[in-house]
Amino acid sequence: MTNRTARIYDVVIVGAGPAGLCAALYAGRGMLKAVTIERGAPGGELLNTDLIEDYIGFESIKGWELAQKMAEHAKKFGAEIVTDTVERIKRDADGWFDVQTARGDTYRTQAVILTAGGTPIKLGVPGEKEFAGKGVSYCAVCDGAFFKGERLAVVGGGDAAVEEADYLTRYASKVHLVHRRDDFRASKLLQERAFANPKIEVIRNTVVPEIVGNAKGVTHAVLEDNTTGARANLDVGGVFIFVGFKPNTQLVEGHVDHDAAGYLITDNRMMTSMAGLFAAGDVRSQVTRQITTAVGDATTAAIAVEKYLKSLREAQGDGKGTR
């Protein structure tokens, strides 16, 4: 990493999904000097979602379209969005943060809003790593079109698994939805829609202990019945895995209070146990993780940052910034 002069901001927003873009919008409205750092295109998980039907005001909208609208709206309020990967967030003894990126840049700030989301949890079974990108996928929107006419397996029982299984039926000849339990965690609406789809077969109380293939890609998934232990091969051309996400909190150096699953615990201002570090969206411990909750978190966090910085300046007695 090269050493460059640190760039100083009022707040650094890490991630440009719905939470990050909303935080950028409100930071702009609050006249804060803010930067939003995103490793890819603005939008986050919206870009991996085909259709959004539960965001108030939009009965139905494509994920990429909503992402575009959010980014454009944030930019109208002066949002600065930088394409780079944050590798480290470190709070110094003086209360300032150093946010360091893969390109060698350092951003100095007294407040960070972490909205970095999460990464897919792996099954951790033989064949998963070997066939990643060769039949094993974690994104139906990204890869579904490559499997036209194929039989596919979707592993999981939450909203993502059920919704993506339904989505994949537009390409696949058959989708086998494999869940380790009898009951699904997905919303009733999603379940009703998917289970009514004639191209979806639900396989309950079953796990996938191995994924098998050849030089061309995946050929079948091994199924194991949870109750009997019996195994059988399911001939499929692809296995889509949706068994959860792990929050991207490893970027923060030092201890921050979190729940058993690693999600950050915040107060009602979205501040974590590390003063000046705020969390919003999928990295935060909460009951549900939706677009609506992400932007709600971000609204609170951005406004709280404005008040937090004001209190710091008042405590210094000059009423002005420390920059």
Identified catalytic residue from 10, 105, 143, 159:
143
Instruction: Please name the residue that has the structure tokens 């789809």.
Output: 197
Which of 285, 290, 289 is closest to 272 using CA atoms? 285
Q: Looking at 50, 54, 84, 139, which residue is catalytic?
A: 139
C-alpha distance across the termini of the chain, in Å: 25
**How far apart (Å, rounded) are the C-alpha atoms in residues 225 and 223?**
7
Q: What DSSP designation does 5 have?
A: P
Task: With beta carbons less than 8 A apart as the criterion, state whether 23 and 12 touch.
Answer: no
| Rounded Cα distance, 298 and 161, in Å | 26
β-pair type (231-235, 217-225): antiparallel
Buried b or exposed e, range 44-63, using 16+ CB within 10 angstroms: bbbbbbbebeebeeeeebeb
In the annotation, is 297 catalytic? no
Residue entry with tokens 């910085």: 309
Query: 151 with 236: CB under 8 angstroms?
Result: yes
Between strands 81-83 and 34-38, the pairing is parallel
> Active site includes 22?
no
**C-alpha span between 10 and 302 (Å, rounded):** 11
Pick the catalytic residue from 142, 182, 235, 257: 142
Does residue 182 carry a catalytic annotation?
no
Q: What is the DSSP string of 122-168?
A: P---TTTTTTBTTTEES-HHHHGGGGTT-EEEEE--SHHHHHHHHHH
Distance CA 32, CA 110 (A): 12
> How far, CA to CA in Å, does 272 sit from each of 34, 81, 275?
19, 24, 7
Q: Which of the residues are catalytic? A: 139, 142-143
